Structure 1
């Protein structure tokens, strides 16, 4: 073979080698399988809500769910939940942590989660269309830096029956109304008629008591029953007197729906919907998350004689001193990257996806998991605008101090509170006298509970164990939203038997 021929043959062989090298493993880096451990409360729901969609876009990233249900399995009444949570993370070593917004602050201060700002800047990841209130809340925990993102949130708004307002000539609600404004507006509606046909000025899904209403007002105003720094009960104050007097006047006005012991506890679908005056068009105002809109839609489809009405929504309840701000913006799932994760890029791909535009577009038709953080996709539900849920700015809410309060305190405090306020409702005692007695006796109960807790801790330490006895995160729900969630999410329906059970 000639030199020229040999060169041609050699060139041909080299081409074959290059082609084989280019085509035998296309996108080798992209196709390389990666493992990612994600922390979540339930594996099945995780894949339903996030995992399956993520896998379609990133088939090379295999997700293993580390379920937090295992934390609760062995918890006793006096278990230190915070320690159990940290021990779980230390043992399981998840790459992606799912934490509450308060826990996020703790893990930031301890250096256990990775800052996201550099990754956001590197990938030019757009956070401008994420609800600014959420970004503000998250940055507040991280000294103006982002350490976590949340795909959804729960917010409260003021919903009203525009038809009833027009019929009775009452001025429509406006953005930024406080609880004091809402209850005054509710009083302008008539109170005559029997319980099954009359209208109400205000309805909170299944009714509300004096103590519940006072708790909702105080949560919105940021006023606590206990100063956890000094461990002093602070109920006998002008602020609390105003709250309880407002709640008392509202209850006595007979415009607030409160069925008491006659409230719905189980029955048919029709009975379930009939137990909610606002859903049935018999209440002028309610407050809560977007779940109420879904209830209205379901009722209109389930009941033959259902009479539709025009629903309006405005932003609130707001703080009475800062009407453009709210303490009712709640986050349940913050995803963060563990600082020691060897899979930072894969973890970031997951967080980017579940907080991104594509995910928001897919999930925009459902309100099953709250409101989307990514704005511009869930603009309305059943023809009703959801803009009001995105209008207010957040006010910080920190429940970490409540974990200092021993469980034993509430066993004595709640019966005392209920009995004294019942006397006030029955005109058997003045509000001033009741609050004075509650504060004095509650302080004795708190001091004793702290003493008992310390003695028990010493006993456990002497035995080689440890016990804290403080409340866990689940006891933090003193806000209006937690009250709403207990009412709305505690309902389960069965399409076969048309029976609903409400869990207390």
Structure 2
């Protein structure tokens, strides 16, 4: 708490010294401008944003203020270190995660953008509305930043396989349980190398951790945690956790899910694609990011054995209690103008460009796991259903609460969980018994970790 207070005071002083948080811009000038942009890494910045921006605005010289040393150092207080970096370097554009944005906006450290948007008639309607709403929710209804992209996943499916086996294809807003039940409708006969699977997992998820991973994915979708951060109690011996683990074990035992015996650690591009059974037409469904669409563009020229099929996309798995939202739609970067910046005009030029049509038009040609916040530019994928990425509202996950738990607890707790669930796999005990043991012993581990934590 002390460090957080120091952080706020440092940045408040900066804001006051530099003239407050007005949205007024200086008069336009043709004099070359030096624009300081805060970002994780300089080379990544230019790859993602900078090269395109300076081509559009050759009169603006960009200098990157890197946060890499702060982000990579586990020993320092990141909030205080970031405040000191801002004080020293005076960046005009701040690169913030949602929690930082919320705090900086509350402390009056960011320039409000709505006046600029209205003055220039900037088209904000073309930006994914729920992203704009989420940003506003974090800043008392006002807009102090914009985010050019977000992360999301979707359920991809092979429409040809569903037609071949006479099975109705998936639809939007399915729960994990519904997806797994649909996967079980595909036959399980045939050899491992040529049979069809109902559902595939990511290539790094091997068969020995399939059940654990699946349970973890379902728990995340439903916003469940092994620790109640308010009471600091281990809470796994509940009906919800029992249902998740029973569902995961049943799915694994059904043999409807494909997971490799060994992860794919490297090789040629051709070998990579041959190790992706969904791409090669042997898996009916997979939950993945937009990366998969890029792979589909490339595989046609890389693998002779690839046989094109009709690709369908629907929303990723949802929480049955709140099916219009998703915890797998994540906003992880927001660009804002530092209050009092002497280069606010250039800073606004940058923010409106990377959130605008010209930037989206170029970046829509490649997909790297992130989705553009500006809509309407993935025209090549409309037939497949790419709009599924834009159907669910983001439901933020508060990772900060996890920091209340002592660092060393989770490694020992995971070993405990692994031990007890292995006994379930071996039919030595039931899921109910395993979770009862985990909760009791896990609480002892948590109490000990808290007692010895500095």
TM-score by length of 2: 0.88
Q: Does 1:161 align with 2:158?
A: yes
| Aligned-residue offset at 1:236 | 1.1
Q: Does 1:134 align with 2:131?
A: yes
Q: Is the 8 A contact 1:134 1:373 kept in 2?
A: yes
Q: Does 1:181 align with 2:178?
A: yes
Equivalent residue number for residue 461 of structure 1: none
Q: Is the 8 A contact 1:30 1:60 kept in 2?
A: no
Q: Among residues 191, 196, 209, which one is paired with 1:194 in the alignment?
A: 191
Measured at CA, do residues 202 and 122 of structure 1 come closer, stay the same or move farther in structure 2, by a change above 3 Å? same
| Aligned-residue offset at 1:37 | 0.9
Equivalent residue number for residue 80 of structure 1: 77
Q: Is the 8 A contact 1:379 1:385 kept in 2?
A: no
Q: For 2:211 and 2:350, how far apart are their aligned partners in 1? A: 45
- RMSD of aligned Cα (Å): 2.0
Deviations 1:322-362 (A, max 9, x none): 22222211123211122242322221111011101111112
Equivalent residue number for residue 13 of structure 2: none
Measured at CA, do residues 264 and 369 of structure 1 come closer, stay the same or move farther in structure 2, by a change above 3 Å? closer
Spell out the pairing of 1:102-501 with structure 2 (5 A cutoff): 102-206=99-203, 207=205, 209-260=210-261, 262-368=262-368, 370-381=370-381, 384-454=384-454
Q: For 2:310 and 2:327, how far apart are their aligned partners in 1? A: 27
Measured at CA, do residues 91 and 236 of structure 1 come closer, stay the same or move farther in structure 2, by a change above 3 Å? farther
- Range that drifts further, 345-354 or 116-125: 116-125
Measured at CA, do residues 445 and 92 of structure 1 come closer, stay the same or move farther in structure 2, by a change above 3 Å? farther
Deviations 1:95-124 (A, max 9, x none): 111111222222222332222222222222
Deviations 1:187-243 (A, max 9, x none): 111111222111111102314521211111111111122111222211111111111
Q: For 2:450 and 2:120, how far apart are their aligned partners in 1? A: 50
Q: Is the 8 A contact 2:294 2:366 kept in 1?
A: no
| Aligned-residue offset at 1:29 | 4.5
- Range that drifts further, 173-182 or 226-235: 226-235
Measured at CA, do residues 270 and 55 of structure 1 come closer, stay the same or move farther in structure 2, by a change above 3 Å? closer
Q: For 1:335 and 1:369, how far apart are their aligned partners in 2? A: 19
| Aligned-residue offset at 1:380 | 3.0
Equivalent residue number for residue 496 of structure 1: none
Q: For 1:221 and 1:132, how far apart are their aligned partners in 2? A: 23
Q: Is the 8 A contact 1:380 1:386 kept in 2?
A: no
> Considering only CA atoms, is the larger Rg found in Structure 1 or Structure 2?
1
Q: For 2:369 and 2:58, how far apart are their aligned partners in 1? A: 25
Equivalent residue number for residue 46 of structure 2: 47
Deviations 1:35-60 (A, max 9, x none): 21101112122122211222223222
| Aligned-residue offset at 1:296 | 2.7
| Aligned-residue offset at 1:367 | 0.9
Q: For 1:213 and 1:88, how far apart are their aligned partners in 2? A: 41
Q: For 2:238 and 2:232, how far apart are their aligned partners in 1? A: 16
| Aligned-residue offset at 1:89 | 3.0
Q: For 2:157 and 2:40, how far apart are their aligned partners in 1? A: 35
SS in 2 for 1:31: coil
SS in 2 for 1:35: strand
Q: Is the 8 A contact 1:152 1:369 kept in 2?
A: no
The number of aligned residues is: 424
- Range that drifts further, 164-173 or 49-58: 49-58
SS in 1 for 2:94: strand
Equivalent residue number for residue 22 of structure 1: none
SS in 2 for 1:63: strand
SS in 2 for 1:121: helix
Measured at CA, do residues 132 and 451 of structure 1 come closer, stay the same or move farther in structure 2, by a change above 3 Å? same
- Range that drifts further, 123-132 or 102-111: 102-111
- Range that drifts further, 188-197 or 45-54: 45-54
Measured at CA, do residues 29 and 264 of structure 1 come closer, stay the same or move farther in structure 2, by a change above 3 Å? closer
| Long gaps (5+) in structure 1 | 1-27, 455-504
Measured at CA, do residues 244 and 162 of structure 1 come closer, stay the same or move farther in structure 2, by a change above 3 Å? same
| Long gaps (5+) in structure 2 | 1-26
Q: Is the 8 A contact 1:95 1:338 kept in 2?
A: yes
SS in 1 for 2:267: strand
